[in-house]
Structure 1
Amino acid sequence: MHSAHLTGENAAELENHSWNGFGEGNRILEYAKDILVETLTTGQNGKDVLNDLPLGSYKIVETKAPEGFVLNEIPQIVTFAYADQETPVVKQTAVFENDRQRRRFPW
C-alpha cells in the first residue's frame, strides 16, 4: 500500500458565475498553496482516485512505501487545465516507482 499527500502547488481558484449585477464572476480561493488537500492511500491494486478537484496544479508526495520497498521522495506535479467545452472531465495520473529494499547478510 502507498500513502501520499496531495497539496496545492499554486492557489487553486474557482470562478463563481453567480449574477452580481455586472455580469462578471467572482474568484473564490478553493485551496491555498502548500495546504493539504487530501491524503491518498492505494488499495491492493496500487491505485487510488480523487474526484472533483478544481482546475490547478497539485503536488503529490509519497509518505509511505509498500512493505519491502524504499520510499520514493521525488514529488510529482499534476496539472488540471481547461481543455475545451467538449471535455467534461480532465484526468491526470501520477505513478510512483519504488525500488526494493536491499538487505546485506553477514555471511
Structure 2
Amino acid sequence: MTKINYKYIKVDIERNPRPDGRSKIPEHTDVMEKHLKRYLDIDELIHHINGNKRDNRLENLCLCKDNKFHGNIHASLIKIAYRLVESSIIKFDREINEYYAHLPIEYK
C-alpha cells in the first residue's frame, strides 16, 4: 500500500524487515535501496534533482553521503539561479514579491 505523507510518498516495506524496525519508508528511499542493493547508511539521504518530491524515478534521485553534501547541491542551484537573475532570465516581481522566468516566446 502506498501512502502520501506531506510531500513524500511512503510505501509499506514487505520485502524484508528494516534494521530500524520501520514498516513504512519514503518511496525514494525504497527506490535507491533497491538500486544499491543495500540499506542507506544513517548519514545518507536522497536529493530529488527536479525538486519534485513525488518524482521517485531513479534518474531523478541523487544519493548524498551526508547533510553537507546535500546542502552543497542546493547551494549550487541557488548560485545558478542568481546568475540567471543577473542575466535577466529570471526576474523579480516587486508587486507580488516573487521570482519568475522571463523567457522569450517563440512565434511560429
TM-score class, shorter-chain normalisation, is under 0.3
Higher strand content, 1 or 2? 1
Question: Highest relative contact order (Cα 8 Å, sep 6+), 1 or 2?
Answer: 1
TM-score (norm. length: structure 1): 0.25
TM-score by length of 2: 0.25
